[in-house]
Structure 1
Amino acid sequence: VLGCIFGVPGDVCTLAAALSVKSPFAVTAAGKGSGKGAQEQRKMELAGDLESDQLVLVKLFEHWERLGKRTPAARGWCREN
């Protein structure tokens, strides 16, 4: 409801979906390093100037969506990140 009031219903739905599954950073960290340190480092790299984990999740989804979801470019980006 608040997402509609503030004019961001899509972002709120994206965030709700992202929070309903295991963190993508935990999955990524397993392939890019070990432990919580690698997970936090990767999250900071992807976050850029964002200071909210939730906004990072929305940003990641939007980037994946711009790549074309089921395209080879999107699959490659997911593997890299």
Structure 2
Amino acid sequence: MNLQELLGTPESVDIPTCSRRGCSAEATFRLEWNNPSIHTPDRRKVWLACPEHRVFLEEFLGARGFLKETIDIGPRG
């Protein structure tokens, strides 16, 4: 096995996918959240979102008071 086989090719790099159940679209947003009843204030959990599901996931987390920040990570490549 050579070094390229060990490291993989650029095409083999994982592309982040949306956290919405059943969605396999590329994620372009990072939703940082925490549940204050079980996480310390500095703890951040992450869901990834495609443009189609960004609002749905933000509203889901926001309705529970969990959403802290949404970061545009842009498309890969």
What TM-score do the two structures reach when normalised by structure 1? 0.26
Greater strand share, structure number: 2
